[in-house]
Structure 1
Amino acid sequence: MNIGLFSDSYLPSLDGISYSIEAFRVELEKRGHTVTVFAPSPSIRYKEKSPNIVRFPAVKGLFYDDYLTSMFFPPEALLRIKRKKLDIVHFHTPSQIGLLGAYYALRSHTPLISTYHTDLYEYVSHYPQVLPGTIALSLMSPMITGGGLSDFRKAISSIKPERNIDKWNKKIVMRGITALHNRCDYVIAPSRKIRTQLEGWGTTAPIRILPSGVDPIPTTARATSLFRSKWGLNPDQPVILFVGRLGKEKNIELLIEAYGQVRKQLPEAKLVIVGRHEHQKALQAYSTKHNLDDGVIFTGHIEHDRLGAAYASANVFAFPSRTDTQGLVLHEAANAGLPIVMIDKEITEVVHDKQNGLFARNSAGDMARKLLIILKDSEKQQRYGAASRQFAAEYSASHQAKLLEELYQKTITSHRRAAEMPPAVKP
């Protein structure tokens, strides 16, 4: 197959969408397919990992710091896509390049699939500056999907301002995303949570739950020892680990507060937070306010291929986020053999309550209690860790790519059959 992946997030950007696309690209190419990624031009010098990467000029920070807004001349962009003779289009973001892919597919009658990676419905509460983008999505959806004048009027109506900005923003997201998804042959939801959300919005396209595949991140005993030494972690010191983007939507303040309660019973315990983002300074200030500076360690960004040492240094992985759609770091932690304590039990298939982890309520007290249950029981750590590896192995990159390949083939076949059917005779 000749596959086109369209995304406004891709390497060298450091986020789950980028890692997901790259893992699928590599595995699909191993299976003999040609995969072209259409993405924004990076803001830094970067050596491409494949010759089949099509970049569009982009401006950084138009909506918020980490986001690249692509700029292109549509006729020229469509010509660049047409030359690839794609068998299927798979878009991963409902933004400029993702929408370009959807527009091309619908215009050229190419099979179209979407993966809804980001819970925009929740994100707009934390990042109101994306409002111009959500308005643009709502207005562009009828044009992209070939809707008529009535659809455009509905779009105009949906952006009529309301007093409650958060509610208004969410309504725009819901209507724009649903209109777009309902023109797809398939919509991929990374988790049960997202399938339920999309169905509740009125998505009529078939929805398939297909998490992104994640493989173990290799490390060595020496690398792990160096990591612990660098951050002042004694060999027998209990370590709680969080890995991820330090955004305000990740609920990390709750984890820091929970750690403060853990330390009352385990004074030697440490909380290691790996990642970076604009919210890091606020989190550090929060730690200082609660007199936890000597126990909360902010490592900043660590290259992905070196994260194995961080996971190997921990006793338990904590994940307080309630806005993720899958949480690739949960799979990484499980692959590393870690017990997991998390809040949003609907976002992953790799954590099972009281088998390899514990689900906590959205409260610092309950998260602290669940962390202590694991930290105080070395036998449970071993048992849960072994189960984590078993569950994670079911979602390897190669296995998930095989499932995606099968979905592509099924979509292309059904799309071709539908095109060959004679048009219905109007009564």
Structure 2
Amino acid sequence: MTRNVEGLPAPHERRSLREAAELTLDEVAAAMGVSAATVRHWESGRTNPRGRKHAAYARFLDGLTAPPAAADADAAGPPGRTDPAAPAQPAEPAEPVLVAVAPGAGAGAEGGPIAPEGPAVATDTADTADTPVDDTGGGAAGAVARPAVRPLLGPADAFDTLYDRAAPALALQSYLLSGRRALALEAVDRAFTRAWDQWPEVATDPDPEGWVRAIAYEHALSPWHRFRRAHRRPDPPPADPADRILLDALLALSPVHRRTVLLYDGVGLDLPDTAAETEATTLAAGNRILHAHAELAARIPELADVPVEKQSAALRERLVALRPPFALTPRPAAAVRGGGERRGRQWTRATLGLTAVITAATAYTVATAPTRYDPPPAPGESVTGVPPLSGPQQLTERSRQLQDKLRTDPQAGPARITPKIE
């Protein structure tokens, strides 16, 4: 086995080891605390883990290549391998990511990364130690404990699982993008409403959280919100001065830089995934992150003294520790599903009503329209071929008598036309 990336096997060998151990992408993702799409990228060589995920993944692969005897001798074996006689070992904690914590919440709200699960299954790691192990299996991996998988009850159960996992963190991310509580909760509600309306597409998507996150980010960063009266008044700033400085610095960035730095430093996506979600090339996404870090370091005194190569880790810690001045509590999942269904019924009723009106108008027009065509009378036409009347007009009999009288009686004056009694 060759080691080509800082102690990790070659990408094709990573997949071979997983297939030899008869593990699926979802099982490896659940053990590593990442999404199945991330594991697929690691095995294709598109991306490589970093930080704690890199060390945990290296130990996981070493556990797949170690013989069963070595795994039994090592009590603290790599994650993914268990001894039937020994309790299950806890997984290595992953890098911190941006999670939503209400003011005054306990330490349990500051968990590790949000590991996206597929909407079709849910894992239960508490039953891992009781899972039977077969040490006689073929391949170089030997026995590997698999997390117990329980089928979900239906689409509503899968949607509620996704909503409970992603909605709190997505509300905080939308707040950091917009700086407004009402807009952040509205973005989360709009994203999950669309997800429920298009649930067959979301359920088969490799990264359902990314699908919902893209919708929420687009709504939170829409430039049309500035014309809404409800969003003209700013929300109260955070109580902590450091949080206030960080939020003002984030809102001072351009929307594309704000979204890129939040995905890379807040959510914890790697550079290729960040570029894909922002619809940019990897080089463009890297340049945006460098420019955003420079602008944030110029506005945040805590980052000004940090070396450039450590600014990403320092910014990630500051984003995780930021606390808004109010609780960002999304609506219950059942209310979101009910609102989407109610809106769908209203649109259906409106469509049926409009169709009925058009049908009635068409029927009335058909009933009152004439059944035959009556052409209008033709306009007058000029007659040709008749010679025009020329010369003096023909005299009538009375006119001729008057003319003869005037000729025979040359007397002048009025007496000339006086009648005579003969």
TM-score, with structure 1 as normaliser: 0.21
TM-score, with structure 2 as normaliser: 0.22
Going by fraction, where is helix more abundant, 1 or 2? 2
Going by fraction, where is strand more abundant, 1 or 2? 1
